[in-house]
Structure 1
Amino acid sequence: MRFTTGMTILRSLALFALAALAEIGGAWLVWQGVREQRGLLWVGAGFVALGLYGLVATLQPDANFGRILAAYGGVFVAGSLAWGMVVDGFRPDRWDIVGALVCLAGVLVIMYAPRA
């Protein structure tokens, strides 16, 4: 599918952000439940969030599963660093930031480059 409007691209970017929130948040909840011994309620909430991630990914306007998941990988990298900063007080170094920017550039190329 070709992206023909700015609104379609904005919708796609919003879905990537929502998917990142669900997947990273879900993984974090499972981590907290297991590694930080907060209990099965946290683990269960994490499982629900991870399931929502899978659902959100299906809402992308592009019909190519491989393309969506490949591009989402770049969003996941950058989103994970951002989550760590906001939630866990992680401070990325310049190479973390450069790597995240490279990944995000890859997202833009994979998803939104003009195709014939």
Structure 2
Amino acid sequence: MTIVRSLLLFVLAALAEIGGAWLIWQGWRENRGLWWIAAGVAALGAYGFVATLQPDANFGRILAAYGGVFVAGSLAWAMVVDKFRPDRWDLIGAAICLVGVAVIMYAPRADH
């Protein structure tokens, strides 16, 4: 259950961070206005709190592992929202990142 909770929190964090950045991009680069930018800033703020809900107490470990989720999530977001078509190297890179997430977060560790 702890791993499932952790994975769900990573997905929520990715949606908040990537979505927030996308909203700011839309507001500024696509001239959609300040409300889009404000929504993006709020989403990025929410992302900052989601990490605190992770069951692991080590900020550095969580943030390092989340980096891999961010890479894969960014490609997934681009595919769904922007109709981006990743090539095999994009997909291989994202898979490597997700393996890294699993090793960093879920490898068995001896108690300290």
Aligned counterparts, 1:1-116, within 5 A: 7-116=1-110
How many equivalent residue pairs?
110
| SS across alignment from 2:53 | coil
Kindly state the Cα deviation for residue 31 of structure 1 after the two structures are TM-superposed.
0.3
Give 5+ residue unaligned stretches, structure 2: none
Partner amino acid, structure 1, of 2:25 = W
How big is the alpha-carbon RMSD for the aligned residues of Structure 1 and Structure 2? Answer: 0.3
TM-score of the superposed pair, with normalisation by structure 1: 0.94
Return the offset for 1:100. Answer: 0.1
How far has the Cα of 1:33 moved from its partner? 0.4
Unaligned residue ranges in structure 1 (runs of 5+): 1-6
